[in-house]
Amino acid sequence: MSDLILLIDDDQSLRRVTEYNLGAKGFIVVTAASGKEGLESFETNTPDLVVTDVKLGDMSGLDILATIKEKAPDIPVIIMTAFGSIEMAVQAMHKGAFNFITKPFERETLIQSCKKALELSKLQSRTKLLSNEINRLTGTQGIVSASSVMKELLETASRAANSEATILISGESGTGKEVLARLIHQNSPKRNGPMVAVNCAAIPAGLIESELFGHVKGSFTGAIKDRKGHFQTAAGGTLFLDEIGELTTDIQVKLLRAIQEKEVQAVGSERVKRVDIRIIAATNLDLKQQITQGKFREDLYYRLSVIPLFIPPLRERTEDIPALVKHFLKKFDAPRDVGFSSQALAILKTYHWPGNIREMQNIIERCIILRKQSVIEPEDLQLLVNKPSSSALTPVIPDEGIALEDIEKSYILKALEKANQNRSKAARLLKIPRHVLLYRLEKYGL
């Protein structure tokens, strides 16, 4: 559908020429000969762009600009005038005009300005849609994009969503990598297809090839029937590969071929099948460091990161914290007089937030429930509520000495025991990344 432009100009001959030039470029043009007629047309037609002269018979184009921005701030407005001045241009820009064009102007000048205004408007609309969806799904309406770094991320994600390019999302645990992946899918050309999420770290190494590419009956013990892999299940949609850095190098080779050729070969089969999918991968590891260590293929990295997106941790966008606090107080129905003291808020801003926004939500909920008074003070925060007492961490070194490795091994074994041998949970208990725990397990032969 072509874009609709509302053209307001009391100069009949110039209005007709401008209407013709814009129409010749494929725009649908609605004209108005006065300010009043223009505003009435704006109400009935809801244009994508307004182009108006400054000096109209009944009112100023700047007044029209102000009225439109009050009613529909997202619709761009271009101002034309034969009596331009720097002061008027500055005034127009302050009121929200997209551009200020002085008559007489070249035909292409106006046409290019219209195209840029409409392109920017559509981009902002997609970014807003993506931001609103993130806010809705994460329960932080109007907050997560408060910082400039998040706004930039959402703008890039919006552009990426409109393509079918492979995307690599990186960021710490709890920053919302899968949420962002789902939103990109929902705003992509493949939105009507399925979104299949695969946690590569949760699948045993011996089964990952079958899980991804499928298998045929009898291809291995337990393969009692043919089975489609995730690549085929996601056909026509998006395949989200979470914790991509956990894949072994032999699987990485096969994954690279599948992505490049868009075809898969099931385990035990000689047939190759074409698949039409979009790949989004995610990791909390430094894949470039993994490449240096020989744990991740460089060619696969560059194939995955056609569009790299990094979700910053909460500690790197502390300007979001006051707004988040306000939001969570409202979400948990805190009384209107309940709030955080400046000292408590300062602590929230300096805390490192290993659990990111989810951790913050839990802390604020706990503060609301356990508060002793309306004003929440630093002692009410209990940020380290699960931290062992100081006496539990007091080091005791025997006279004969003790190996530091033995201490580390004992804590790793205790953490694994407490986590029922779940390595991800054990890593969280030890407050280290999962890949660091795996390295130490291998190092100590545990």
Q: CATH number of the domain that 90 lies in?
A: 3.40.50.2300
ω into residue 388 within 30 of 0, thus cis? Answer: no
- According to DSSP, the residues that pair with 102 across neighbouring strands are 81
Residue span of the structural domain in which 357 resides: 314-381
Query: 241 vs 191, 348, 425, CA distance in Å?
Result: 17, 33, 20
**Of 264, 205, 270, 220, nearest in space to 239 by CA:** 264
Q: Kindly report the length of the chain.
A: 446
**pLDDT score for 142:** 41
Cβ pair 246, 252 in contact under 8 A: no
Q: Do 368 and 417 fall within a single domain?
A: no
Residue 134 is assigned to a structural domain of this protein: no
- 46 pLDDT band, cuts 50/70/90, is confident
Mean predicted lDDT score pLDDT of the chain? 85
Residue type (1 letter), 346: A
145 CB-contact burial (10 Å; exposed 0-12 / middle 13-18 / buried 19+): buried
**pLDDT score for 146:** 63
Residue 140 is assigned to a structural domain of this protein: no
Q: Do 290 and 212 fall within a single domain?
A: yes
Residue 77 is assigned to a structural domain of this protein: yes
State the residue for tokens 């997202």.
74
Query: The tokens of 87 are what?
Result: 């002061």
Provide the 3-class DSSP secondary structure of residue 66. Answer: helix
Residue 100 is assigned to a structural domain of this protein: yes
Number of compact structural domains in the chain: 4
Residue 126 is assigned to a structural domain of this protein: no
Q: Do 305 and 320 fall within a single domain?
A: no
Top-confidence range, 69-78, 325-334, 386-395: 69-78
Q: Do 258 and 168 fall within a single domain?
A: yes
Residue 154 is assigned to a structural domain of this protein: no
Q: Do 22 and 73 fall within a single domain?
A: yes
For residue 388, pLDDT beyond 50: no
Q: Do 339 and 410 fall within a single domain?
A: no
CA dist 9 and 32 (Å) reads 6
- Cβ neighbour number for residue 252 with a 10 Å cutoff: 18
For residue 144, pLDDT beyond 60: no
Q: Do 300 and 318 fall within a single domain?
A: no
Last residue of a domain, one of 98, 121, 144: 121
Q: Could you give the residue ranges of the DSSP H alpha helices within 283-403?
A: 287-292, 298-304, 321-331, 342-350, 356-370, 378-381
Q: What is the mean pLDDT of residues 93-102?
A: 90
Q: Do 297 and 320 fall within a single domain?
A: no
Top-confidence range, 1-10, 293-302, 405-414: 293-302
- Percent of the chain exceeding pLDDT 70 equals 91
CA dist 134 and 179 (Å) reads 7
